[in-house]
């Protein structure tokens, strides 16, 4: 049975995700998010939506980006 790369659980319905040329095995989307989703540079939440980015720094929203001094960013709607 496949083993989850995040939590170590053995699960017969595991999923595989390829990212940056590496293949990962997960027992749930929750584990995939915890392992692969970036975190906001301001508040630390996992960015699982569009987010915003400036100078290779990722934020969950324009508000958090502004709090860190990023300018000119808008949330995508």
Report residue 77's pLDDT band, with 50, 70 and 90 as the boundaries: low
Contact between 4 and 25 (Cβ < 8 Å) = yes
Residue ranges of alpha helices (H) inside 13-69 are 29-36, 62-67
Question: Which residues face 15 on adjacent strands?
Answer: 26
When the pLDDT of each residue in the chain is averaged and rounded to a whole number, the result is 94
pLDDT at 66 over 80: yes
Task: Please tell me the pTM assigned to this model.
Answer: 0.82
Strand 57-59 versus strand 52-54 pairing type = antiparallel
Averaged over 63-68, what is the pLDDT?
A: 96
pLDDT in tens, 14-44: 999 999 999 999 999 999 999 999 999 999 9
| DSSP helix, strand, coil percent of the chain (3-state; round to 5) | 20, 25, 55
The domain limits of the chain are: 1-36, 38-77
Helix (H, G, I), strand (E, B) or coil at 24: strand
């Amino acid at each position: 049975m496949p083993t989850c790369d995040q939590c170590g659980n053995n699960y017969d319905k595991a999923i595989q995700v390829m990212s940056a040329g590496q293949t990962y095995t997960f027992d749930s989307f929750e584990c995939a998010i915890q392992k692969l989703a970036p975190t906001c540079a301001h508040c630390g939440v996992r960015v699982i939506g569009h987010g915003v980015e400036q100078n290779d720094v990722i934020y969950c929203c324009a508000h958090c980006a502004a709090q860190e001094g990023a300018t000119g960013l808008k949330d995508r709607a």
